[in-house]
Amino acid sequence: MSHSKKIEIITPENISLQLELASVADRTAAFLLDVMILFLLSSLFLGFLFVTQLILFAPLLVTSVAIIVLFILWNGYFIFFELKSGRSPGKKSHRFKVIQEDGTALSVGSIYVRNLLREIEVWIPLRMVFIASMASSLSQIWFVVAFSWVFIGVLFPYFDKKNRRLGDIVAGTVVVVMPDFMLEKELAEESLSKEKEEQQTDTISFTPEMLDIYGKKELEALEDILRKHKTMQYDSQKKLILDVAKKIQKKIGYEKEVPSRQALLFLEKFYQAQRKCLEQKLIHGKSLTRKKWK
């Protein structure tokens, strides 16, 4: 029986969530799939350059273009997909996703850092291994140094309790397994109740006094929860949404009964109303901080 590692994430609402960490072996498999895709793209590009070279006969120009484009491709590939969805095609095939270790939204800076550090962790030593193996004039010590560099980089996550590579540690990120948070039965139930919930949407409304309690910081925390809840297991997702909805209802004095199935709808409506309220305050030059009661 396998025992997968878990990581505890504390949301801004102080709710604890348990997420499964991606294993090192599975992360390696996902990475190799990405490398295969990159090799295919690189081969197509180099084939195009070869034809261009035959036509233009400009080896220096073609070589310079190849170096620049391949560098951008092999580093930009991961950055592009992680900026888009937090996961490359290789990670997506294994249901992995990169998240911020502290539970906040994945930042652009973290994505750049973790991926550009891969150049130091992987690509530079691999180039050294290739060059040292092809150039007989180079000392064998260069091959040993480069190979050891790669070997250490590969083994490093095995000794980290969160399966992180160096880039993850510096960027403050971890790779987690995307759970099947919504079963087919639940999807069917959601579909059947969707029309009914849409009809009841107008019953959820807020008074100016209710919207005057929370400020910009609390709105950002709610936005973060609404953005991340779909990455959780269904039970964790349901518990989070219900707990947050109840806390907000109690805090703002919302007396209407909100059915459990409408908890998410309640939060989305509150977020929209709260954001609109704060935008109006900003227009009129009022404070966006949380109101303090005596």
Amino acid, single-letter form, for residue 293: W
- Of the candidates 121, 153, 175, which is a domain's last residue? 175
Domain that holds residue 272: 184-283
In the block, tokens 């100016």 appear at 208
The Cα angle at residue 39 between residues 33 and 43, in degrees rounded to 5: 150
In the block, tokens 């590009």 appear at 45
Task: Name the domain count of the chain.
Answer: 2
- Of the candidates 111, 144, 175, which is a domain's last residue? 175
User: Are 42 and 166 in a shared domain?
Assistant: yes
User: Are 113 and 134 in a shared domain?
Assistant: yes
From CA 24, how far away is CA 181, in angstroms rounded?
23
User: Are 108 and 205 in a shared domain?
Assistant: no
User: What is the SS3 assignment for 100?
Assistant: strand
How many C-beta atoms surround the C-beta of residue 59 within 10 A? 9
pLDDT in tens, the chain (294 residues): 446 788 887 655 555 667 889 999 999 999 999 999 999 999 999 999 888 888 878 788 888 899 999 989 998 999 999 998 888 999 989 989 898 887 777 889 999 999 999 888 888 888 777 776 776 655 677 778 878 888 888 889 999 999 999 999 999 999 988 765 433 333 334 444 554 555 455 578 888 888 888 777 777 788 888 877 666 666 677 788 888 888 998 888 888 888 887 888 888 888 888 888 777 766 555 544 544 433
